[in-house]
Amino acid sequence: SYELTQPPSVSVSPGQTARITCSGDALPNQYAYWCQQKPGQAPVLVMYKDNERPSGIPERFSGSSSGTTVTLTISGAQAEDEADYYCQSADSSGSFVVFGGGTKLTVL
Amino acid sequence: EVQLVESGGGLVQPGGSLRLSCAASGFTFSTYWMHWVRQAPGKGLVWVSRINRDGTSTSYADSVKGRFTISRDNAKNTLYLQMNSLRAEDTAVYYCARGNWNYGIDYWGQGTLVTGSS
């Protein structure tokens, strides 16, 4: 079955740049989406179609894609950005949706 | 404002059945694909199922195929998940989510907890 691979954790100091990667064989042909989940809360979309930012999401969030890897970048990470981040996409045929395992971002 | 409100979760014995509902408001329900996504306690998000706009096309994760059925009633703006032959490993918060673009998900409900336990 198709998988998306994320690092389990990323840690940065406040004001530094955090980069969270997501790898998958079908990513050159399928868009990636990113959601943020804080403890006890529902996920919130923070990036769509690789690099489009939804309204209301701070400009410090950006997305990029290169080959089989997509990256969510948080420039000048803040304490409020501490959360779990999940990438999401589809398999090459577009039949199934898949999530990465999630990355816990720590800002301290 | 897009709102998705799940209901129907609870405690169910292994082998039992449960039907989840998701009431949608704030958007034209019939024009969007819809998904169910679950999250076991302390674990990551796992996609469960999706349905197209008019309910004629569905797909399922291998782990629930043959046991779960997704459906929708566009007249009632409601999404459903019928869960049969429940197992302990189905224990999770189940989220209703709106689909957009190519298999993207843009809005999530608050979730409903399903606990499979004897």
What are the backbone dihedrals phi and psi of residue B89, each rounded to the nearest 5 degrees, phi first? -75, -5
Measured CA to CA, the distance from residue B93 to residue B112 in angstroms comes to: 5
B3: number of Cβ within 10 Å: 12
The predicted pLDDT at position B55 comes to 96
Please give the full DSSP string across B75-110, using - where no structure is assigned: TTTEEEEEE-S--GGG-EEEEEEEEETTTEEEEE--
Interface test with B, best of A97, A98, A99, A104 (most B CBs within 10 A): A97
Q: Do B104 and A86 touch (CB under 8 A)?
A: no
> Tell me: the pLDDT tens digits for B62-80?
999 999 999 999 999 999 9
List B residues 2-31 in contact with A (Cβ-Cβ < 8 A). Answer: none
d(CA B94, CA B8): 10
C-alpha radius of gyration, chain A, whole number: 13
Q: pLDDT tier at B8 (50, 70, 90 boundaries)?
A: very high
Residue B102 has pLDDT above 90, yes or no: no
d(CA B50, CA B60): 7
Are A44 and B108 within 8 A, CB to CB? yes
How far is Cα B46 from Cα B87, in angstroms, rounded to an integer? 16
Average pLDDT over residues A29-54: 97
Diameter of chain B measured on Cα atoms:
41
